[in-house]
Amino acid sequence: MSTPPPTIEPLRRRPCALAWRRPALLLGVLVAMSAGAYVLPGGSIMRRMVAAREGVSFSSLKADGSLHFYGPGAREAGTALGLPTDKPDLEVDGSVYIRPPGRCRFEAKPTEGNLVASVFSGGRKRVEGTEIPALSEAVRELCSLLTARSRDELEAHLTSLGIDPRTTSLARFGGEVVYVLGTPGEGSPQFWVYKDGFRPARLRHKEGKGPEWDLRLQDYASSATGEMLPRSIEVWRGGERLLRFTALSGDTRSKPADSLF
């Protein structure tokens, strides 16, 4: 007699613990995403930025470095400095002076040619020599952002540039996360602040119907200037880079004469 084949009973599916946990896991992920996407209100961002600047104590700062002009900026700088204007770029020595509150000076110093300085003091601009527009833009915004004494003062300046500081979002700049104050979208006036450290990162605005100005500040951890001044300062206009200042040394012991401001 042949042996009958063994009976195979169907496997019974047991409830999977993971299946019961999925809704809870999904809820946890959503909660984490919501927490990570939280953006501080504009008032809090500005207040923390001003407090961070107050933590960097110095009575005066002089930073020396290289000042590089590009494209249209090179032509404008060449004309003002008495240098050739037919080259795509131009490099000279540069110096930035900051005396809080509210007094700043940016110099372009060629080995041969004319010294040009843009000064911003007490909310007023002054130029020594023939004005270089990118230099004036840099010193005005640097002074307004780095020496603001209160949230209200900073907010008033941003508002004067058409920036809505109450509208905030997140973005990335130079590989770092930044808070964006202002209406989202390309072409909108905006102020960017590094999320880590609350340092000024970028400022975009227009003057009337003119092209957009774009100030970019990077590297607050250099051995030259540390948190007092970003190592790299760039000015763009209408999508073209005009100027880049690279700080090579910093001095907080010098006492620049009042006449410089």
Domains delineated in the chain: 41-260 (2.50.20)
C-alpha span between 146 and 99 (Å, rounded)? 10
C-alpha span between 95 and 108 (Å, rounded)? 7
Of 26-35, 99-108, 126-135, 154-163, where does mean pLDDT reach its minimum?
26-35
What pLDDT, in 10s, does the model give residues 222-243? 888 888 999 999 999 999 999 9
At 232 the pLDDT is: 97
At 209 the pLDDT is: 87
What pLDDT, in 10s, does the model give residues 154-210? 999 999 999 999 999 999 999 999 999 999 988 899 999 999 999 999 999 998 889
C-alpha span between 133 and 118 (Å, rounded)? 9
* Contact present, 55 and 198 (Cβ < 8 Å): no
At 35 the pLDDT is: 41
Instruction: Output the average pLDDT for the chain.
Output: 88
User: Which comes out higher in pLDDT, residue 38 or 235?
Assistant: 235
Evaluated on CA atoms 171, 177, 182, 186, the torsion sign reads negative
Per-residue tokens: 63: 């930073």
Torsions phi, psi for 112 (to 5 deg): -130, 130
Rounded mean pLDDT, 204-225: 93
C-alpha span between 208 and 225 (Å, rounded)? 34
Give the confidence band of 4 by pLDDT, cuts at 50, 70, 90: low
At 9 the pLDDT is: 45
The yes-or-no verdict on residue 28 having pLDDT over 80 is: no
At 33 the pLDDT is: 40
Percentage above 70 pLDDT, the chain: 86
The yes-or-no verdict on residue 24 having pLDDT over 80 is: no
* Contact present, 121 and 261 (Cβ < 8 Å): yes
Per-residue tokens: 187: 């072409």
